[in-house]
Amino acid sequence: MRIANHVVDLVGGTPLVKLSSVVPAGSALVAAKIEYLNPGGSSKDRIAVKMVDEAEASGALKPGGVIVEPTSGNTGVGLALVAQQRGYSCIFVCPDKVSEDKRNTLRAYGAEVVVCPTAVPPEHPDSYYNVSDRLVRETPNAWKPDQYSNPAGPASHYETTGPEIWADTDGTVTHFVAGVGTGGTITGTGRYLKEVSGGRVKIIGADPEGSVYSGGTGRPYLVEGVGEDFWPSAYDPEIADEIIAVSDADAFEMTRRLAREEGLLVGGSCGMAVVAALEVAEREGPDAVVVVLLPDGGRGYLSKIFNDDWMSSYGFLREPLDGHTDRPSV
Ligand code: PMP
């Protein structure tokens, strides 16, 4: 019988699907890796499993321990799944700008959520950073995974995401494109693909305009989960051959097209990565095989990217969601 013991055993092994409608004629084959099919709904399930495995092995996380991490989204869900399976509890710290829906998602998985004010400076005792550090100090048996510096993050992608892409393309992949947040995905997957191909596979990072990876200063952008205003140690700057900067407007327009034209309801960082992948695919032509990683699904963005009023309020709206029909609305 093919019955998994626990949802955590279903992490990874996500499929590739060919993009068609959004890919201009004459371009390379573009295959998207659908990470929302992980049980927690994102690529972060992979790093959660590996970070907990390593912490158990090193003794940093003890039986009955408490996982404390500043996270508002995908990493929290992944950690909560693994915590349930193995009898840990979770406390996640998030800024008050994080939507009620996201906080409730973490609570639904059994995590405790501590909300901090956004409008205080980092050195304030109630700041996001100070509260999570204090909780780690004051909670018995606490362990902080710290996805920005934990080498288990990139290692999980080196051990799973990279080999999956190599196997599923029969070793024909020529370019790998991923958005860069902590840098774990591009560092681990990219390192594996470079090693296994003898350096043949080119690695391309996609980054929001304004973020440090593409030479910015950390200027604000609205796409979530990618871009930084500092250089995390999970990111190895030697791996990417190129970084392509993408505007919020282009990222969100492509995100909406992926839902409407490819049947892929995905998050904004996915649209961003696809914009970069299409640039590579057009430039490289039909002999290339471009794999682009789509980190999460679109349900968490319905009131933003998939809401015409929100899109208009930032001047991003190019095509209303109901703009493809001539029928009068009832
Ligand atoms: N997209 C989303 C939605 C994410 O949550 C993340 C993780 N922060 C990324 C992309 C980037 O992945 P990584 O942290 O591995 O660079």
Q: What is the ipTM of this complex?
A: 0.98
pLDDT given for residue 186 in this prediction: 98
Strand order in the sheet with 16-18: 16-18, 29-34, 289-294, 175-179, 202-208, 242-246
Q: What is the DSSP string of 281-308?
A: HHHH-TT-EEEEEE-BBSGGGTTTTT-H
What spacing in Å lies between the alpha carbon of 301 and ligand 1's midpoint?
15
DSSP state of 30: E
Look up residue 222 and give its amino acid: L
Q: Are strands 202-208 and 142-143 parallel, antiparallel or unpaired?
A: unpaired
pLDDT given for residue 101 in this prediction: 86
Q: b/e for 22-51, b at 16 or more Cβ within 10 A? A: bbeeebbbbbbbbbbebbbbbbbbbbbbbb
pLDDT given for residue 323 in this prediction: 64
Report the predicted TM-score, pTM, of the whole model to 2 decimal places: 0.95
Which of 161, 177, 226, 272 for a ligand 1 pocket mutation test, highest count of atoms within 8 Å of Cβ?
A: 226
pLDDT given for residue 99 in this prediction: 80
44 is catalytic: yes
Given a cut of 70, the residues of the chain with pLDDT beneath it are 323-330
Task: Return d(Cα 99, Cα 220) in angstroms, integer.
Answer: 18
Quick check: CB of 188 below 6 Å from ligand 1? Answer: no
Task: Return d(Cα 80, Cα 88) in angstroms, integer.
Answer: 9
Share of the chain above pLDDT 70, in %: 98
pLDDT given for residue 189 in this prediction: 99
pLDDT given for residue 159 in this prediction: 98
Phi, psi angles (nearest 5°) of residue 32: -100, 135
pLDDT given for residue 330 in this prediction: 57
Atom from ligand 1 closest to the CA of residue 180: 16
Q: Hey, what's the torsion of the CAs at 139, 42, 311, 327, to 10 degrees?
A: -140
Strand order in the sheet with 142-143: 112-116, 89-95, 66-70, 142-143
Q: Which residues lie closer than 8 Å to 205 by C-beta, 6 or more apart?
A: 177, 178, 179, 180, 186, 213, 214, 240, 242, 243, 244, 276
pLDDT given for residue 230 in this prediction: 86
pLDDT given for residue 326 in this prediction: 54
Quick check: CB of 78 below 6 Å from ligand 1? Answer: no
Task: Return d(Cα 105, Cα 116) in angstroms, integer.
Answer: 17
Q: Which of 33, 44, 202, 304 is catalytic?
A: 44
